[in-house]
Amino acid sequence: MADESWGFWRDRRTGALWGVVTMSNGDVVACCGPLRPSQANPALLPYLRYGRRDVDWIERNRTEFVPVATQPYAYAS
């Protein structure tokens, strides 16, 4: 999908880093985490093992997450 973008989000409570895929409207559509330090490389964002298992949990707790500034990655078809 052309309007997906990848980014890192940090859990304010635990400090854990997650890879998150969002649509242009801000909806979370997939996530991966918590990540190991070796996975916290912006170049790896498109290649992490994303899934939907924790998407609802992230959406319900969205205020507990803060985006981490990285080079933006967007899927281009």
Report pLDDT for 69: 79
* Total length of the chain: 77
pLDDT at position 77 = 45
Q: What is the pTM of this model?
A: 0.84
User: One digit per residue, pLDDT tens: the chain, 77 residues?
Assistant: 558 899 999 999 999 999 999 999 999 999 999 999 889 888 899 899 999 999 999 999 999 999 997 755 555 44
Q: Is the dihedral angle over the CA atoms 31, 29, 71, 76 positive or is it negative? A: positive
Identify the CA nearest to 31 among candidates 2, 13, 60. 60
Q: What is the Cα–Cα distance from 49 to 64, expressed in whole angstroms?
A: 22
Predicted confidence at residue 73, as pLDDT, reads 53
What would the two tokens of residue 24 be? 């242009």
